[in-house]
Chains A and B, each alone.
Chain A
């Protein structure tokens, strides 16, 4: 079973995505705070980390930066998927640096996005 960490601080999005992913057979751990998420990333094993950029305490990029302590850049680019409502050129450029897939909220096609979340090796680069 694929184990997913979902870092998202909007409660409705968090709950819904958790439910939708669980329906498709994933095990989902949710976290709304960045600092706690970092602890989870460093101490547990996940197959996929879905990370919002605008968290209450720190930014999603800070979380990814901390993950460097455990993973190589190549691993990070496969493990992380960034979701954000602020897809400015600056954000897209930064996501490109990490090689992570970036998906803008609101999702245009939810089924498609869920499939990407559950796929083994996510396609690279911002979408």
Chain B
């Protein structure tokens, strides 16, 4: 499960970064999208009304009716060639091509139909498409013949009629041929050309719909197969979910992401597998933010601090007054110290995947420095069992993870002590480092109130907290990190004494 989590977090982030309107327009069930007839019909009639051609009332009416049928019944682009050939006025033609190129794509599609009911869809290279498109565009009468160098892409014999349609996102060419050298009549040419005005809105609808359907289908599939429950809601009304028939999830197990730019609409992500995906999401965001911050800080401070140090030592070398010299050397010393502190901080949060050797005692001291502001006035004692502070006890571990764990445990201990608020206890945090045969145990002990027995089973669960302002994620993050290090955080109350002890066991080198 763990291996998949980062990928899943990435997926969620991707959903959130995609256009939010796509999320809310996801249909609950798959049903084919149909454009509404009324507006569509109006468009057709308007187009026909404005038509200036008058090739006799009857044929005009027939053409109109047929065209109306064609426009209403065509739902897919590959139906178009046969639909065009079925128009009575163009019935004497043998074959029809519709070539479509989505702008920006490396290939186009070539849809073909002939009167022997032969249907075919092929790819056409963008070079061929463009040369044909430009050729058709430049031509006035739109009559061509096969002598053009297009044999590989088009199966036409003799003369053919072709017309181009330029849409916002697509270029389209439609082309009919009689497969003979008989030239088309003026009437046929006129009808053929007038077709483009009617086909344009149809093509726009169909092509955009096909593209959107595909995009929606991809998003929908990935949301449906997402391992956690997902709800897209507007004003608490479910617009989409990947778990239709199940009970709603408890509020406390939900992560809610507002969808930018769409009012009252949110995407909720539940944590059904108990694999704390939301915890990890929260945590990875926090660590990367902190890492970035420390990195920037280190670089921004490093230059001026180096300048201070350099100038200080230079002036100290020149100073004749002993007192001035000492002050200048103090400035150098402090600039150096600041440099080291900020460097250590960013080292603690470096590349998260990296395993490196750490000196245990020194490492704990550094982590304690990090907790200083949070644990003011609480004594912190490092006790070594089985070795001396100066012994080089080394671990090979992910220092970023381990820092987080120990940091959190110390902060928790400090908060426990503060919450007890009694003068009786000694107010101290003891960090016990116990060297065993091939492992070392790091235990953080406090003398606060301890963990109540009824909560003992829940404290590592995400979102479980007894603090007013807590997120309930601290310990669950720690447990996840410990798992990444191949270990586990254990806890016990120090009864009969006050407080609790949290510990982690790690292998020595």
Query: Contact residues of A with B, CB < 8 Å?
Result: 10-13, 15-17, 19-20, 54, 85-86, 105-107, 110
Give the distance in Å from the alpha carbon of A46 to the alpha carbon of B306 in the complex. 26
Q: Which of B283-338 contact A (CB under 8 A)?
A: 299, 302-311, 313-314
Query: Is the CB–CB distance between B299 and A86 below 8 Å?
Result: yes
Query: Is the CB–CB distance between B311 and A12 below 8 Å?
Result: yes
Chain A residues within 8 Å of B307, by CB: 10-13, 16
Give the distance in Å from the alpha carbon of A102 to the alpha carbon of B386 in the complex. 45
Selected A-B contacts with CB under 8 Å, 20 pairs? A10-B304, A11-B307, A12-B304, A12-B310, A12-B311, A13-B306, A13-B307, A13-B310, A16-B310, A16-B311, A17-B310, A20-B310, A20-B314, A54-B303, A105-B303, A106-B306, A106-B339, A107-B306, A110-B310, A110-B313
CB of B302, distance to nearest CB on chain A (Å): 4
Known pairs A12-B307, A13-B307 / 17 extra A-B pairs, C-beta < 8 Å: A10-B303, A10-B304, A10-B306, A10-B307, A12-B310, A13-B310, A15-B311, A16-B311, A16-B314, A17-B310, A19-B314, A85-B303, A86-B299, A105-B302, A107-B306, A110-B310, A110-B313
Query: Is the CB–CB distance between B299 and A85 below 8 Å?
Result: yes
Nearest to A13 among chain B residues (CB) is B307
Q: Provide the main secondary structure of the chain B interface.
A: helix
CB of B454, distance to nearest CB on chain A (Å): 50
CB of A89, distance to nearest CB on chain B (Å): 11
Give the distance in Å from the alpha carbon of A110 to the alpha carbon of B313 in the complex. 11
Number of interface residues of B (CB under 8 A): 14
Query: Is the CB–CB distance between B299 and A12 below 8 Å?
Result: no
Query: Is the CB–CB distance between B314 and A13 below 8 Å?
Result: no
CB of A105, distance to nearest CB on chain B (Å): 5
Chain B residues within 8 Å of A17, by CB: 310
Give the distance in Å from the alpha carbon of A113 to the alpha carbon of B359 in the complex. 30
Q: Tell whether A106 pairs with B305 under 8 Å between CB atoms, given A12-B310, A16-B311, A20-B314.
A: yes
Nearest to A17 among chain B residues (CB) is B310
Give the distance in Å from the alpha carbon of A113 to the alpha carbon of B313 in the complex. 15
Chain A residues within 8 Å of B311, by CB: 12, 15-16
Query: Is the CB–CB distance between B306 and A85 below 8 Å?
Result: yes
Nearest to B308 among chain A residues (CB) is A12
Give the distance in Å from the alpha carbon of A15 to the alpha carbon of B302 in the complex. 17
CB of A26, distance to nearest CB on chain B (Å): 15
Give the distance in Å from the alpha carbon of A17 to the alpha carbon of B299 in the complex. 19
CB of A117, distance to nearest CB on chain B (Å): 13
Give the distance in Å from the alpha carbon of A12 to the alpha carbon of B310 in the complex. 8
Nearest to A14 among chain B residues (CB) is B307
CB of A30, distance to nearest CB on chain B (Å): 13
Chain A residues within 8 Å of B308, by CB: 12
Chain A residues within 8 Å of B314, by CB: 16, 19-20
Nearest to A104 among chain B residues (CB) is B302
Nearest to B304 among chain A residues (CB) is A10
Chain B residues within 8 Å of A10, by CB: 303-304, 306-307
Give the distance in Å from the alpha carbon of A105 to the alpha carbon of B299 in the complex. 10
Give the distance in Å from the alpha carbon of A17 to the alpha carbon of B309 in the complex. 12
Nearest to B313 among chain A residues (CB) is A110
Give the distance in Å from the alpha carbon of A15 to the alpha carbon of B311 in the complex. 8
List 3 A-B pairs, minimum CB-CB distance, nearest first: A12-B307, A106-B306, A16-B310
Chain B residues within 8 Å of A15, by CB: 311
Give the distance in Å from the alpha carbon of A12 to the alpha carbon of B313 in the complex. 12
